[in-house]
Structure 1
Amino acid sequence: MIRVTIVSPNHALRVGLREMLSNHAEIEIVGEAVRLEDVNEKETEVVLLASVSSVHMTDGKKNFAILFLTDDVESVRGILNSKTQVWGVLSVNATEEELIAGICAVGEGLWVGAPGLVESLMRLPRGGEGSGEESLQEPLTSREKEVLEKMAEGLANKQIALVLSISEHTVKFHLSSLYAKLGVASRTEAVKRGIELGLISL
């Protein structure tokens, strides 16, 4: 069972989300909060967050995963460029099934992205220096990009190996290499960085 805290300054929204999720065996609602910093980290595994201001007030490193609800593409970009440990973004109009699936996925350490939001994000112009793949000291190989894309789809190493017709050992080798090139230390950070650089098209 995944322990979830709902964070939003909107009381009605918190109540609605609690009612929607409370009847599912996979999820236990352990609390509600107006601000992210008020979340009990010891009790919470996943935060369902519907507050843009809270995202930008946090220092980034938390002991829980964050699933952010928004339809604002610029907010998504701001989150990806922040230090916040956001592991997923879904529409505020996500269905009950999508919310459950998203919570379960981030609870397992996977990255979740609503297709429409990610596609809109990829179409936005990228301003500033170092915002694209050219900012990497060493570009990813075509195979490393494939591994990164499959990882963004939520596939485990064994599944990636089957899809790409390579060994699981080779997948791990590519992961180590792309982690080093992207300057990250986890699957979640790699996907987040890949989206920032426009390397992933979901």
Structure 2
Amino acid sequence: MSDGQTRQTAPWRVAVMAASWQERASLQALVEANPALEFLASAADAEKLVDCLAGSVPDVIVTDIAPEPSDALKTLFELSHASPSLVVLSDDPDSDWMLDALPADAVAILPRNAMPAEIVASIEAVAAGLCVLTPDILARLLAETRPSRQKAPAEPFEALTLREIEVLAMLADGLGNKEIARQLDISDNTVKFHLSSIFGKLGATNRTEAVMLGMRHGFIMV
């Protein structure tokens, strides 16, 4: 969120990706009706969306994800060489695979039947660097972290280094690998190395869980 203060007065740039043209039209109309948002492009898949964007980088991508894992979203991030925030609308938002199947920068997961006001609020929240989860997802994540806390006395976790704490704090701010690398003046591979070490030390399986465990153990505050 290093440029958050400079972007607050300008509309957040939003792109839409959905298989159904009706869904794309509905989401486009929702974005265009809000003066705080600027619609950039829409497409049925990741590759077509990258073509439609023609080099423009959205602040947020709203996508109607299929109810099964797909490489399409990962392809979008690889092709665009950017780290926009992501708002995902899904029939099964609290499924076991959802968090692991999404790209690392996905920070909002909503049910497909979310109200328009909820979608708009989520777009603005993730653009500002916040995380949006349904109560069911949050409850499941909290439940999954409890065994780690119970095992702590018998199996103390390894303390994070100062650099790892920096990286973890940037994860909590919603930054992607490329932005973390830029701010710390390190390579993408070094960021991945730090993330792997953080996950291993905290016993986390994804970025969201790492942030929650980091908060629980007092490494970061948000």
What letter is aligned with 2:159?
E
Indicate how the Cα distance of structure 1 residues 197 and 20 shifts in structure 2: closer, same or farther if over 3 A, else same.
closer
Output the TM-score relative to the length of structure 2: 0.56
| Alpha-carbon distance between aligned partners in 2 of 1:16 and 1:195, rounded to the nearest angstrom | 32
Q: Give the Cα separation in 1 of the matches to 2:128 and 2:156.
A: 31
Matched, 1:9 2:27: no
Tell me which amino acid in the other structure corresponds to 1:78: D
Are residue 138 (structure 1) and residue 159 (structure 2) matched?
yes
Residue 181 of structure 1: CA displacement? 4.4
Matches within 5 A, 1:56-135: 56-59=74-77, 62-72=82-92, 73-79=95-101, 83-123=103-143
Q: Does 1:184 align with 2:198?
A: no
Partner Cα separation in structure 1 for residue 57 and residue 103 of structure 2? 22
How many residue pairs match? The answer is 156
Query: Measured at CA, do residues 66 and 135 of structure 1 come closer, stay the same or move farther in structure 2, by a change above 3 Å?
Result: farther
Task: Name the CA shift for 1:183/1:20 in 2 (closer, same or farther; >3 Å).
Answer: closer
Tell me, in whole angstroms, the C-alpha distance in 2 between the residues paired with 1:184 and 1:56.
Answer: 22
Residue 28 in structure 1 maps to residue 42 in structure 2: no
Residues in 2 aligned to 1:110 and 1:67: alpha-carbon distance in whole angstroms = 11
CA contact (8 A) 1:59 1:84 kept: no
Q: Distance in 1 between matches of 2:38 and 2:103?
A: 27
TM-score (norm 1): 0.60
2 CA distance for matches of 1:50 and 1:8? 5
* 1:157-196 superposed matches below 5 A: 180-181=164-165, 183-184=167-168, 186=170, 187-188=173-174, 193-196=207-210
Gaps of 5+ in 1: 127-131, 140-175
Alignment partners' CA distance in 1, 2:15 and 2:75: 17
Cα distance in 2 for residues equivalent to 1:11 and 1:97: 21
Once the two structures are TM-superposed, the CA of residue 194 in structure 1 deviates from its matched residue by 4.5
Mapped partners of 1:12, 1:124: distance in 2: 37
Distance 2:117 2:103 in 1: 29
- Percent identity over the alignment is 20
Describe the shift of the 1:137–1:114 C-alpha distance in structure 2 as closer, same or farther (beyond 3 A): same
**What corresponds to 1:42 in structure 2?**
56
